[in-house]
Structure 1
Amino acid sequence: MTTTQPARSALLRTATVAAAISMALGLAACDRNDDRTAGQKLDSAIAKTDQAAENAKDNVQAAAHDAKVAVQDAAHDTKVAAQDAAHDAKVNAEEATAEARAKSHELAQDTRENVAEAKADTKQAAANASAAVADAGITAKVNAAFAADSDVSALRIDVDTKDGVVTLTGPAKSQQARDRATQLAQGIDGVKRVENKLEIRP
């Protein structure tokens, strides 16, 4: 609880008077050989008590000043510590944000690359499937052409098509039949080249 200034002054005066009276009585009892009158002794005791009270007052003021300085120092230290903590928190938050942004950018880049690769793979797979269908269609058309031709219909010719290149294997009864097989295969739409590996067997 804080005591107001007037109350402290009243208490100080009361204490001073009480101390002076006590000292006067003590001096009167202890120093019977003192030639001074009781009034002189009382005045001397009051003067000493006033000096003691003044010294006590100075000590109290010094202690209050020291306490005030200590409180101000503590408040300043607390303020500085709070500012440092706030700065550190800000720096940590900025670093975390920058790291999250970098990771997000990296993830987005990886996603774009993966999507691009997937698109390329899909496109390639579609192209391969389309080429396989086209090759199968060419093979079927070559076999149909061979079956409809009298010179090669009796031959057991194996037809294989890869990327539009037709490879013929098997026996041919004559050079004429061999050449006719090449001619028929080259006449099919989509054939890029014919590799005739037929063996002439009369």
Structure 2
Amino acid sequence: MMKRNTTFRAPLFGALALAAALAACSKQEDDRTAGQKLDGAIAEAKQAGAEAKVEAGQAMDTAENKLKDATATASDAMADASIVTKVNAALMADDKLKATQIDVKVEAGRVVLSGTAPDAGSQARATTLASAVDGVRSVDNQLTVARNS
């Protein structure tokens, strides 16, 4: 009788059993049909689209708010520049104040007058003239009275 070589059988069966066990462990169970998988993919795409729409809406709101803020800032700057021009014109129209150097600064409708007035009456008159300009909220008169008066 012929003797069979059985030395390779045990390792061979062990390797086959190990391979089968590994294949069974790595196999992912997905009992869904192709239609169910497609429906799931469509639902995920719709969700992603809805999220993108919300994010786009939020970005538009942010951009709109920034534009409004920038427009308001530019409008305020133009209003302040207009006030400076009108206050300077009013001061130049006054006989005693037109010969003086008065610096007019405006921020948010608040006028600051600095420089020198020829006398106390002119100093007070500068406040009155500046206050009469449309858009002026307050006047901070920092004018000093010239010493020679």
When the two structures are superposed, what TM-score results if normalisation uses the length of structure 2?
0.72
Number of aligned positions between the proteins: 119
Superposed structure 1 runs of 4+ greater than 6 Å apart: none
Higher-Rg structure is: 1
Please point out which of 111, 118, 127 is paired with 1:182.
127
Q: CA deviation at 1:85?
A: 7.7
**Structure 1: where are the runs of 5+ without partners?**
1-83
**Structure 1 position 141 matched with structure 2 position 86:** yes
Q: CA deviation at 1:88?
A: 4.0
**Structure 1 position 128 matched with structure 2 position 73:** yes
Q: CA deviation at 1:97?
A: 1.6
Distance 1:88 1:170 in 2: 87
Name the residue aligned to 1:93: 38
**Structure 1 position 106 matched with structure 2 position 46:** no
Identity across the alignment (%): 37
Amino acid aligned to 1:157: I
1:15-55 alpha-carbon deviations (Å, 9 max, x no partner): xxxxxxxxxxxxxxxxxxxxxxxxxxxxxxxxxxxxxxxxx
Please point out which of 99, 109, 117 is paired with 1:164.
109
Distance 2:100 2:146 in 1: 11
**Structure 2: where are the runs of 5+ without partners?**
1-28
Name the residue aligned to 1:199: 144
Distance 1:121 1:155 in 2: 42
Q: CA deviation at 1:135?
A: 0.9
Aligned-pair Cα RMSD in Å: 1.9
Distance 2:96 2:69 in 1: 40
Is contact 2:127–2:141 with CA below 8 Å preserved after alignment?
yes
Is contact 2:96–2:118 with CA below 8 Å preserved after alignment?
no
Amino acid aligned to 1:123: K
Amino acid aligned to 2:92: A
Is contact 2:113–2:143 with CA below 8 Å preserved after alignment?
yes
When the two structures are superposed, what TM-score results if normalisation uses the length of structure 1?
0.54
More strand by percentage: 2
Q: CA deviation at 1:86?
A: 8.0
Q: CA deviation at 1:103?
A: 1.2
